[in-house]
Amino acid sequence: MNTLEGNIFKFLNESSLKKGDFKKEHKFLIEGFLPEELITMIYSAGGSGKSFLSFAIAKRMCELGKKVFYVDFDNPVSVLKERHIDKLLIEKYENLRYIQRSSLQMPPFDLVMHLEASAIKGMYKDCVFFLDSLINFCDLFNDNRLMRLFDALKNMREAGATIIVLHHANKDGKNYQGSTCIRNAIDCMYKLNQRPANENELNFFLEVQKERAAIIDSSFCLDTTSLDLATLEKDIAMMSEYEFGFSAKAVKLLKEQESLNKTEFLSLLGHEKDDKTARECLDKFDGKLWYSQKVGKSIFYSCKKPNHTSTIITTIAKEPENLLFDSCKIVGA
């Protein structure tokens, strides 16, 4: 009995946090937006561009030299091909492993359990995992199953992993689908709102719903031809309901037309040429969502972007280490 007690107290002592455990500094992988070694969830309505945003984040993580694992049970291979993800991401970065429904011979829930089995201290340091999307990994209304999934993700987090979980909003788009235990289980949560954008671009405003790491509302412009992320103009990110409706219709119209003069443009938008509010909206987003050019006495609008100075969020790329994934061979063993 005494021997057993001695052993258990020794075990508890060895398992306790020590002074050195608190020397770790909190870091962001994307400043103010993506904290390292935490679980971050991004949710939105279907078709809002969640996957495109996560592709761009994955690219940035690859450029930082992280070991990136993208587990995709949402997008079919044909869609990945159509979006050129094979060329822009999968074939481009040696430090990326893209695991898709067709390439994995087990349910995604079981994969997470296998990953947890290797989650000893430090195993997943510098690893970034993407889960696309949560609905494919677990029954959202089975609390026991959800808690088991998130317990595994927490164990991976404590082993050094940074985890990004994509999720769907409910029918009205105001909240996420599923049990409240989802909110309790993750560290940081964003609601993704799409904004009107030019051709080959997606604009996002991400609103903080839960934070444990001083994250802030963030906004990005994504180039779908390169997966480059840029800082989104504040005027676009924070536009009013009127501005959103006006600009969404205007951008759609300009994508269908070569160019339109101001009077014709306003008329097709349902406004008179002397509508002050509409004209102010045209001026406010000129050079941001559309581009004007004076020809004689007329002003023409187009969605074609002239030469401009890039605001791409740049990264000092690290050369992938030799045999970068060798240390991950035991995952799932």
* Residues 161 and 32 grouped into a single domain: yes
Could you read off the pLDDT of 224-270 as tens digits, one per residue? 999 999 999 989 999 999 999 999 999 999 999 889 999 999 999 99
Provide the percentage of residues in the chain whose pLDDT is more than 70. Answer: 90
Please count the other Cβ atoms lying within 10 Å of the Cβ belonging to residue 103: 10
The mean pLDDT value for 122-130 works out to 98
Beta carbons of 170 and 45 less than 8 angstroms apart: no
Whether 11 is in a domain gets the answer no
Whether 16 is in a domain gets the answer no
Could you read off the pLDDT of 97-112 as tens digits, one per residue? 999 999 999 999 999 9
Domain extent for 282: 241-302
pLDDT-derived band at 293 (thresholds 50, 70, 90) equals very high
Residue 316 is predicted with a pLDDT of: 44
* Residues 152 and 294 grouped into a single domain: no
pLDDT-derived band at 128 (thresholds 50, 70, 90) equals very high
Q: Measuring CA to CA, which residue among 245, 232, 240, 243 is closest to residue 203?
A: 232
Query: Is residue 21 helix, strand or coil?
Result: helix
Runs of H (alpha helix) within the chain: 2-15, 50-63, 77-82, 85, 108-117, 143-158, 181-185, 234-237, 241-256, 262-268, 276-284
* Residues 168 and 263 grouped into a single domain: no
Whether 3 is in a domain gets the answer no
* Residues 164 and 35 grouped into a single domain: yes
Domain count, the chain: 2
DSSP string, 34-91: EETTSEEEEEE-TTSSHHHHHHHHHHHHHHTT-EEEEEESSS-HHHHHHTTHIIIIIT
Residues in the chain: 333
* Residues 65 and 185 grouped into a single domain: yes
